[in-house]
Amino acid sequence: MLVRLLRVRLAVMNGVATMAGYLLFPGNREMVAAWLACCGVGLLAAGGSALNQVMERDLDRLMERTRLRPLPQGELSVAAATGIAAVLVSAGIMLLLKAGGVLPAVLGSAALVWYLGVYTPLKRRTGLALPIGALCGAVPPLIGWCVAGGSPGDPRIMVLSGVLFLWQMPHFWLVQRRHRQDYPADAAFLPSLPGNGEQLSPLFGLWLLALLAAALLLPAFGLLNGPAALCYPILPLVLIPLVLLRRERALRGVLNLFPLLLTMTILWEAGF
């Protein structure tokens, strides 16, 4: 039940992205702070997921993909879910304060407020909510970078955050296509879905090209060097033949793994 409420896999991904941002910062590394930041962001993401399900419990009941979540199933009350979320969010903020001081905690809190206060209500009104909500997914590596001592305005971490921002759009569009019959007829998301037929639209292709270009900037900015820099381009470039051959299922799988494979490359670069 808690796994479904907290969407643990997504929370772990956010924590891993935080670790990647931390490890990209050059210099001495205090891994205790890195793990505190990783866990702090993971707890914030888990708490945010619980609050999101409280806010969207009416919509979740209508969709096959979400109807088995704890609130639609009556396994958990709204008060209990809200209480669990409050504990997790408070713990996450405290861990970020311990890891890197005020700035990481403020960044994490701002991302959570943006996700719940802007993205969640806006996505019922317009498909433009998708890029607005994607901003939240770009914050975890920025938090890790700041915990390590970096500046949030450093172009190097902006590149990595930009890659994760761009990745979320084609990833979510493919999820929409897979579950298009599951969305209510009046869902505001649907007009933005690129390619309602058998083929993906040119918009999807343009966004994917932007992702590829941004991803290849990581070696150019010196964030990846040596063997990691030589092997890394295989990761984004493999997306091109999958699009050309219209292998949508394989494309969806590669995009799902993209953040994990990117983080593994960064860990390799850092010597882990």
**Are 10 and 140 within 8 A, CB to CB?**
no
183 class by beta-carbon count within 10 Å (0-12 exposed, 13-18 middle, 19+ buried): middle
pLDDT of residue 192: 47
Question: What residue ranges define each of the domains in the chain, with the CATH number in brackets?
Answer: 2-270 (1.10.357.140)
| Structure tokens given for 253 | 């799988």
pLDDT, position 200 = 66
- Give the C-alpha separation, 109 to 111, whole Å: 5
Tokens 């205790």 -> residue: 32
pLDDT tens figures, 22-72 = 988 887 678 899 999 999 999 999 999 999 999 999 888 877 778 888 998
Residue 191 is predicted with a pLDDT of 42
What pLDDT sits at residue 34? 93
Q: How far is CA 209 from CA 118, 124, 152, 225, in A?
A: 28, 28, 26, 23
| pLDDT of the residue at 85 | 97
Q: What is the pLDDT of residue 249?
A: 83
Contact at 8 Å (CB) between 218 and 156?
no
Q: Can you give the pLDDT at residue 225?
A: 77
- Please check whether residue 52 is in contact with residue 116, taking contact to mean a CB–CB distance below 8 angstroms: yes
- Residue 271 is predicted with a pLDDT of 67
CA-to-CA separations, 54 to 24, 36, 71, 233, in angstroms, rounded: 36, 27, 7, 41
- Model-level pTM greater than 0.75? yes
For each successive 10 residues of the chain (272 residues), what is the average pLDDT?
Answer: 90 92 82 95 97 91 83 92 96 97 97 95 82 92 95 90 90 77 54 52 81 84 76 78 79 83 79 66
| pLDDT confidence of residue 190 | 45
